[in-house]
Every structure is written in C-alpha cells, then in structure tokens.
Amino acid sequence: MNIFKTIFSSWDYKVINKLIKLDNQGKLEEYLNYQNECFKKVKIIENHEPLLPLKEYLNKDIQINLCDLKIDNTNNEDRLYLRKSVINKLNKAQKLLPSGYHLMIRDAFRSEKLVWDLYYLYCKRAKQEKPNILDKEADLWVRNMLAMPDDLVPPGHMTGGAVDVILGDDHGDFIPTQIKGTNIVDLQKQNYTFFKDLPQDILNNRKILYNAMTKVGFNNFFKEYWHFSYGDGYWTIRHKKKISIYGIPKINKK
C-alpha cells in the first residue's frame, strides 16, 4: 500500500496504514479501538449549515441513482439531502470530469433510524451466513463495516457531510469502477480505493473520480472507493484537524 505515501501526509499515512494492517489481519476489535483513539481528538463545533435538497441545488449534469438499501418502508426522498457546502463541492467536482463522465449519487443523507435499520439488517445477514455466531461477534463485525450513531463521532451520512458517488455516462449507465460477477470475498477486496488488481480501464476510472472529488476538498474512505466526505469527524481526522464542523443537523432540513 505504498501508494498512500504519495497522497497522504505522514500523519495520515501512519493512521491509515495502521487501520489497513488491522483490517487485513481481521483484528476487528483492535481496529475499532485504534479508530476510537483518533476520534477522541475530535471536537465537534456545529456550523449550522443547512441540509439542502439535491434535486433543487445539484448541478443537472450530476445523476441521482440511489442504491437499494433493502430496508422496508424507507422513504428515499429523505435521503436526497446534503449540506450546502457538500453540494457546492459536488457541483465543482462535476466540472472537473472529462466529457461524457458524470457523478452519480448512490447515497447521501441517512437518518439515525435508517442507520440502525441497516445495523439490524447486517446483523441478521451475519447470523444467516454464520448460524453459530454470537450476538457480540455479529455486532463487532457490523461496526467494522458501518459507522454507528453511538460512535464517538456521528456517522458521516448522518451529518449530511458524506456522499456515496460513482461515475455514469451520458445515458445514465454505470461507468465501470469494479469487476462484476465476482464472489463476495473478491468484492470486498476490490472495494478498497487503491486495490491494484483491477483492469487498467477500471483503475483509470477510479482515478478520475478520486482526483475530481479530492481536488475540491473531499476525503475518501480508503475501504470504500465510492465514499467521500467533508466536514464530518472522519474528514477531520484525515486532514489532521481537531474540529469537525458537522454534527447532527436539525430535522427541518432546509
């Protein structure tokens, strides 16, 4: 993972490299403990920036194609909000893309209820795959995959500062950023932003997405090539800052 040395400062590289090592070793509890030590340094000073509806404020060249979270009674319209600065940065990132490339929003704001619904869904799946797994083990597994409302800092999606985004073409179809038809283990491996064992065209597409998003101020979550954030606790850590400007926004989004 030496590629991280070229894109992160020495402090960021140290933290991220440690997390990668723990993740690869399957040390789930150690991973969370180390991450929490980083979160303890973060202070949240909410700037009260409003959540704005994507359909009104997003550049028309940016496509919206929300992923199916497989949760019953989910109102997808409630997910179509982000902080004002996040939307502005998405609009700027779109202008940096080559002709024929479009940002495609797959997920945006998540309410606390939605995050907990995801938690219970993932725990259920874990128990289906491993019937003998203990509740504590399922909880630990899910928490290594999903940021939770009771974490030391709020999940990025709950703050309105995080967005899941990939690339689409002029027809609204996906521009390849991963290999289709692979098993779950291979899928998890290639979720890493800088996973090298991919065809060159896919690596190029990921680079296009990553460069456009980071140039306007977003930070990527290294385990998910599609997840970018600004202003939340995770962004704060990766930028060597101490103050997060986004906490949990008010329910009246606008």
Query: Which residues lie closer than 8 Å to 223 by C-beta, 6 or more apart?
Result: 23, 191, 192, 193
**Is residue 60 predicted with pLDDT exceeding 60?**
yes
- DSSP per residue, 73-104: T--GGGGSEEEHHHHHHHHHHHHTSPTT-EEE
Query: Which phi-psi region, left, alpha or beta, contains residue 148 (left: φ > 0; alpha: ψ -120 to 50)?
Result: beta
Give a yes or no: residue 177 inside a domain. yes
- Sign of the Cα torsion 170, 176, 177, 181 reads positive
Question: Phi, psi at residue 164, to the nearest 5°?
Answer: -100, 125
Q: What was the pLDDT predicted at 201?
A: 95
Give a yes or no: residue 160 inside a domain. yes
Average pLDDT, the chain: 90
Averaged pLDDT for residues 72-78: 87
Number of domains, the chain: 1
Give a yes or no: residue 41 inside a domain. no
pTM of the model: 0.91
Give a yes or no: residue 224 inside a domain. yes
Give a yes or no: residue 10 inside a domain. no
What is d(CA 69, CA 240) in angstroms, rounded to the nearest whole number? 32
Q: Which domain holds residue 114?
A: 53-230
When comparing pLDDT for 237 and 213, which is higher? 213
**Is residue 185 predicted with pLDDT exceeding 70?**
no
Give a yes or no: residue 248 inside a domain. no
What is d(CA 3, CA 165) in angstroms, rounded to the nearest whole number? 22
CATH number at residue 193: 3.30.1380.10
